[in-house]
Amino acid sequence: MKSTLLGLALLSCLLPQEERVGTSEQKVHYKIATKYNQPEAVDSTLEASARSAGSFGPRYAAMLVRIHRTFAKGNGYKDLYLSLQQDTLGGAPKGASLHCAALAAGLKKAIYCAKCENGKIKCPHCQGKKKFDMKCLNCDGKGYIHAKGEVKPTVLQRCNSCSAVGFIKDCVCDICSVTGYVDCPDCKGTPWREEACPSPECRSGKVTCAHCKGKGTAKETCPDCGGKKRTIASGASSAFKVSVKCRACDGEGFTKVDCPKCNKMGKIICETCKGKPEFMKVVASLTDVLGTNPCNACGGQGWPEAGKAIACPRCFGLGVLVIPTADGTKILVPE
Q: Which helix (H) or strand (E) holds 107?
A: helix 96-111
What is the pLDDT, as a whole number, of residue 200? 80
C-beta atoms surrounding 196 within 10 Å: 15
Give me the DSSP letters along 27-64. Answer: HHHHHHHTTTT-GGGS-HHHHHHHHT-SSHHHHHHHHH
What is the pLDDT, as a whole number, of residue 18? 57
Nearest Cα to Cα of residue 119 among 187, 175, 205: 187
What is the pLDDT, as a whole number, of residue 197? 76
Cα–Cα dist 131/172, whole Å: 5
C-beta atoms surrounding 322 within 10 Å: 23
What is the pLDDT, as a whole number, of residue 30? 97
Q: Which helix (H) or strand (E) holds 158?
A: strand 156-158
pTM: 0.64
C-alpha distances (whole Å) from 24 to each of 11, 60, 92, 116, 258 are 19, 17, 20, 47, 61
Q: How many residues does the chain have?
A: 335
| Spans of the chain, pLDDT less than 50 | 1-16
188 contact partners, CB below 8 Å, separation of at least 6: 119, 273, 274, 276, 279, 280
Number of helices and strands in the chain (H, E): 6, 14
pLDDT in tens, 223-240: 888 888 888 777 655 555
What is the pLDDT, as a whole number, of residue 88? 58
Cα–Cα dist 166/144, whole Å: 8
Domain annotation for the chain: domains and CATH numbers: 19-112+285-324 (no CATH), 206-269 (2.10.230)
What is the pLDDT, as a whole number, of residue 153? 60
pLDDT in tens, 29-77: 999 999 999 999 999 999 999 999 999 999 999 999 999 999 998 888 9
